[in-house]
Amino acid sequence: MKADVARHPDTLMLIERPSDIRTAKATGKLGIILGFQGMEFLQSNLSLIDHFASSSVLIMQPTYNQESVLGSGCLSKVTAPGLKTLGYEAVKSINRLNCVLDLAHSHAQTALDAVKASSQPVIVSHSACHALHPHPRNHPDVVLRAIASSGGVFGIYLMPLLGDEPAPASRELVTRHLLHALKVCGEDHVGIGSDNSITPLQLDSGYFDALRDFVADRTRNGSASPGEGRHPFMTPGLNTPRRLEIVAWDLSRAGCSDSVIEKMLGSNFLRVFDEVWQSGR
């Protein structure tokens, strides 16, 4: 990724401190924040957290969908899920190194354990509200409240796992999840965690062939969530680089003020990055 950024300095910029985000916005560049989605690769070598933090990995998500040496992912079926001893040590290291702790894909109990263990605000970068659609990738209100109480941000993704009414991953569903999170967390603790590329999808036979292969591979390794592959990984009507402008319009129509919308579109996440990264960079 760093090599890609170096090859395209006119359009890409590596984010290494909060001010870099503002610089990228001011100069019209795409800011790249490096992060981990699951840290099973650590095995028991937590010194790797220091190594990658020094290499500008600024967001770290201890668990993915499965059970791991660090804790339980959202698909875990163990009888006593949660953060494990090594996971608690990982949280301490992530805090010490002023990286942002991300609990997307975690089991609800893992998230609650990690929030209690963390000395800094915690985020869920991309999930949705279990109260509106009971899917293992979506977090219950108790987790939303815990994230907010930490000073963190709960991000709503733009994915089919939002539910099926009035249609799979509709704009209406995105707005509904955002408004629910807003009610539970408060305006300072909700964001957009799209989980999408900025490249619009071309929904042709090539895409659907690739989608089937992708989900089949995830099913084989046990990481596929229920329902994956039934619909494209996007929200119809938001399959565009201007998706956040559309989300803002929908929120405005739903009665949200401009100041609240601005927080949800990015300034809440930026506040957390300011607080966590600034102390070490």
Tell me the pLDDT tens digit for each residue of 171-223: 999 999 999 999 999 999 999 999 988 777 889 999 999 999 999 999 999 99
| Residue span of the structural domain in which 271 resides | 2-278
Q: Are residues 86 and 109 in contact, defined by beta-carbon separation less than 8 angstroms? A: no
- The predicted model gives 89-102 an average pLDDT of 98
Residue carrying the six token digits 């590329």: 197
Exposure of 198 by Cβ count < 10 A (0-12 exposed, 13-18 middle, 19+ buried)?
exposed
What pLDDT is recorded for position 50?
97
What pLDDT is recorded for position 70?
97
- The predicted model gives 62-84 an average pLDDT of 96
What pLDDT is recorded for position 280?
62
Look at residue 281 and tell me whether its pLDDT is greater than 70.
no
What pLDDT is recorded for position 202?
87
What pLDDT is recorded for position 241?
86
Q: Are residues 165 and 126 in contact, defined by beta-carbon separation less than 8 angstroms? A: no
* Structural domain count, the chain: 1
Question: E strands along 120-199, which residues?
Answer: 122-127, 153-156, 190-192
Phi, psi of 218 (to 5 degrees): -65, -35
Q: 165 falls in which pLDDT band (50, 70, 90)?
A: confident
What pLDDT is recorded for position 279?
65
What pLDDT is recorded for position 219?
94
Q: Are residues 99 and 55 in contact, defined by beta-carbon separation less than 8 angstroms? A: no
CATH of residue 105's domain is 3.20.20.140
Partners of residue 190 on adjacent β-strands: 154
Count CA atoms closer than 13 A to 25's CA, side-chain side.
8
Each residue's pLDDT tens digit, 116-137: 999 999 999 999 999 999 999 9
% of the chain at pLDDT higher than 90:
91
What pLDDT is recorded for position 168?
79
Question: E strands along 33-183, which residues?
Answer: 34-37, 57-61, 100-102, 122-127, 153-156
Rounded to a whole number, what is the distance in angstroms from the first to the last CA of the chain?
Answer: 21
Exposure of 3 by Cβ count < 10 A (0-12 exposed, 13-18 middle, 19+ buried)?
exposed
For 48, the token pair is 């790797």
Angle of helix 85-96 relative to helix 108-117, nearest 10 degrees? 50
CA distances from 33 to 128, 145, 161 (A): 22, 26, 24
What pLDDT is recorded for position 151?
98
Each residue's pLDDT tens digit, 8-49: 999 999 999 999 999 999 999 999 999 999 999 999 999 999
- The predicted model gives 237-248 an average pLDDT of 93
